[in-house]
Structure 1
Amino acid sequence: MTTPAPEHATDADPLSPVRAGLLRAAHADADALLTHAEREAAALLDQARAEARAILDEARRQGEADGSDAARDLLVKTRRDARSRTLAARREAYQELRNEAAERVRALRGTDGYTSLRGWLEQRARVLLGPAAEVTEHADGGVVARAPGRRVDLSLTTLADRAVDRVRGEVRSLWEP
């Protein structure tokens, strides 16, 4: 048997079809792995996006809830402040009414009818405490009477305060709707 001369040798390598088959299989495996990896990456991205949306939605809901709580707290504080200012203004108006009434009643001391009024107040004090009551002039006008264990204040300022107290409900209607 003779070996063919080198110039007659074929270029064909007997492992060439095996190599080609292995290369095709490797390419197919690589393509399959790449496709699988791309699908997994897409699925992970979709999942991450969904989680991000869920986190954002929850953060938005929480932010709205926190904002709602803050708004409610602010509204309560604002109403409380408004109520406080309203009550302060009413107190001030009521005190001004008391002061004006007391001032006008004290002005009666300078009128011609004061002597008659003072006499009537003294009589009223004696009716309340008895004829032996000690009756004195009050510095603001009117009288104060004393009897053992008892005292009656019929000063002009006290009478004005009592009159304003009696009409307190009507005065309240000045600032209520």
Structure 2
Amino acid sequence: MTAPPPVPADPLAPVRAAVLHTAREDARQLVADARRDAAATLSGAHSQAEGLLLQARLQGESEGSRAAAASVSRARRETRSDLLKAKAQACDDLHRRVVELVRRCRREAPYPAVRDRLAERAHRTLGPGATVTEHPHGGVVGTAPGRTTDLSLDALAARALDRAGAGIESLWKT
């Protein structure tokens, strides 16, 4: 018996090995390229995101500043309005209180003499033919053709407060 013929060596083995080696090298290169591309894309995305965040922060700060300025302006207007309302209320309260106190003088003993002096003043102002009547809240009102003088206690109190003018303003200044 003769020995079986030797199994021939795989004639394509070197080709396969070379193709496999080349494929592995190409794969490594592709993976390396893909990693570089991914890193560059991530870096660009991070830079773009930082730019967008900075832009958004600046825009937010700007809008916040405008909103804060508008809010402060609105608060100042409201405060000024509230202050003016409080001052007007204080003036009204003062006027009401002064009128109440002046009206009380009708109950005091010297009032008839005061009323008489007011009537004399009305006659001096309007002339001897003037009609002088007592006001329901005290004082007098004089009338003559085409003219009137109000010397009621309420009118006298109002004129006194008007003359006090700026002095009244000092009541709420500290």
- Give the TM-score taking structure 2 as reference length: 0.89
Q: Distance in 1 between matches of 2:155 and 2:69?
A: 46
Q: Distance in 1 between matches of 2:14 and 2:63?
A: 72
| Aligned residue in 2 for 1:126 | 123
CA shift digits 1:35-91 (9 cap, x unpaired): 111100111111112222222222222222333233222222222222222111111
| Aligned residue in 2 for 1:64 | 61
CA RMSD after TM alignment: 1.9
Q: CA deviation at 1:126?
A: 1.4
- Return structure 1 stretches of 4+ with deviation > 6 angstroms: none
| Aligned residue in 1 for 2:49 | 52
| Aligned residue in 2 for 1:174 | 171
Q: Distance in 2 between matches of 1:64 and 1:6?
A: 91
Residue in structure 1 matching 2:26, options 19, 26, 29: 29
Q: 1:7 and 2:1 equivalent? A: no
1:19-168 superposed matches below 5 A? 19-168=16-165
Q: CA deviation at 1:16?
A: 3.6
- Give the TM-score taking structure 1 as reference length: 0.87
Total equivalences in the alignment: 172
Equivalent position SS for 2:5: helix
Equivalent position SS for 1:161: helix
Structure 2 gaps, min length 5: none
Q: Identity rate of aligned residues, in percent?
A: 44
